[in-house]
Amino acid sequence: MKRSKLLKNIFIFILVILLANTMFANSQKLIGKAKTNFRSANLHYNGKRFKKALPLYLEVLKDNPNHIESLEKVASIYYADNKEYIKSNNYYLKANNEIQKIIDEYKQEIESNPKKSKKLNKKIDKFLKKFEHNQDMEKSCWAKIFIKGKSKFKDEQYDDAISIFNELLQIGPDSVNTVKMLAYCYMKKEDKDKELEYMIQAANLDLEDKQIRSNIAIIYFGKEDYQNAIKWYSEAAKLDSVDSNNYFNIGICYSRMKDDQNAYKFFKKVVELDPKNLDAVINVSNCASKLKMEDESITYLKMAVDLDKENIDYLSNLCYRLSKLKRWDELIEYAKKWEVLEKDSDASKLIKFANQNLKNKK
C-alpha cells in the first residue's frame, strides 16, 4: 500500500511538471482564426501597412489577451504610426506583465527540476531582452507624453496640459516631474488649493527639493496661515542651512503673529549669516526695541546707518533715540552726519543740546 501511494505521488508530480510545460507552450500558441489573423497581421506589418495590421492584431488579442508578440506589435503601431503614446505605453506594460509571468514560471520549474536550468535560462535570457526593450519603450512613451504636456503648458493651454499630465500620472504615479507640472498648471490658473495639493504631493515624493518647500510656504503665507508657512520654510532651511532667505521669511511670519521674541531670534540669525542684509538689520533692531533691549536695538540701528549712509530716516531715528538715552558723545557723532545730509533739520539743535549737557556734566 505504501509503495502504491508513493508511485501515485510521483505520478502527480510528473503530471504537474508536464502541465507546466504545456502551459508555457500553450500560453503563446495560437489556433484557428487567431492564428490566421496573426499571420495576416504580420504580413501587413512587415509591409508597413499598419492600418491593416492593427485591427487584425487587436482581433487576436480578443481571445488571446496574453499573446506577447501581438501586444508588442500593437504597442509599436500606436507608438510609431499613430503617435498615441498612452495607448502604446499600456500595451508595452501588458506585454511585460505577461513576460514577467513566464519568467517567474520558468524560474519555478528550474527550482523543481535543476537539470533543465541550462535550457530554461536561455529562454529566460531571451524574454529578459524583450522585457528590457519594452521598458525602454515605456520610458520613451512617458517622455513623449511629457513633452506634449509641456508644449500645451507653454502655449498657455492649461486645461489640456492638466488632462495630459493626469493621464501621465496614471502611468507613473511616483513621477515628481509630472506632479510639479500639475502644480504649475494650477498656479497659472490661480487655483491655490489645487496648486498647494500638488506641491505638497511633490514635496513628499522629492525629500531633497528645498525650492518646492519654499513655494509651499509662500502659498501658506499668502493665506495668512503663518504656522504652516513657518513649518515649510523650516523644512527648506534644513536642506540649506546657509540660505538666509528662509530664516528671514520665518522672522516675518513671527512678526505677523506678534511673536517678537522668535522674530528677533530669526532676524538675528539672518544678520549673522548676511551682515549686509539691511532689511534684516532694521527688523532685528525693531524687535529688540519692542523687547526693551535698547542697547542692542541701537547697535543694529547703527549697522543700518553704516549700510545706508545717506538714509536720513535711519540717522534721524538714531539721533532722537541717542538723545533720549542721554548718550551725548554718540549723539554728536551721528547728528553731525545728519547735518551734512540735511542742513535745515533738528541735527544742529541736537548737537547744541548734547554739548550743553556734556558741559553741565563736566
Q: What is the pLDDT of residue 60?
A: 95
Q: Confidence band (pLDDT; 50, 70, 90) for 6?
A: low
End-to-end CA distance of the chain: 127
Contacts by residues 89-93 (CB-CB < 8 Å, ≥ 24 positions apart): 89/137, 89/138, 89/141, 89/142, 89/145, 89/171, 92/134, 92/135, 92/137, 92/138, 92/141, 93/134, 93/138
Q: What is the pLDDT of residue 226?
A: 98
Asked whether the predicted pLDDT for residue 149 surpasses 60, the reply is: yes
Q: What is the pLDDT of residue 25?
A: 45
Closest CA to 167 of 146, 190, 152: 146
Q: What is the pLDDT of residue 124?
A: 93
Asked whether the predicted pLDDT for residue 11 surpasses 80, the reply is: no
Q: pLDDT by residue (tens digit) across 163-178?
A: 999 999 988 888 999 9
Q: For residue 19, how many C-alpha atoms fall within 13 Å in the half-sphere facing its CB?
A: 6
Q: pLDDT by residue (tens digit) across 184-238?
A: 999 999 999 999 999 999 999 999 999 999 999 999 999 999 999 999 999 999 9
What average pLDDT does the segment 314-321 reach? 96
Q: Confidence band (pLDDT; 50, 70, 90) for 318?
A: very high
Grid coordinates belonging to 124: 529566460
Average pLDDT in the chain: 91
Q: What is the pLDDT of residue 273?
A: 96
Encoded amino acid at 192, one letter: K
Q: What is the pLDDT of residue 299?
A: 96
Q: What is the pLDDT of residue 361?
A: 65
pLDDT > 90: percent of the chain: 84
Q: Confidence band (pLDDT; 50, 70, 90) for 81?
A: confident
Note whether 61 and 37 are within 8 A (CB).
Answer: no
Domains of the chain from N-terminus onward: 7-154 (1.25.40.10), 156-206 (1.25.40.10), 209-304 (1.25.40.10), 309-362 (no CATH)
Q: What is the DSSP code (8-state) at residue 327?
A: -
270 compared with 83, residue with greater pLDDT: 270
Closest CA to 187 of 162, 209, 208: 162
What average pLDDT does the segment 38-52 reach? 95
Q: What is the pLDDT of residue 18?
A: 44
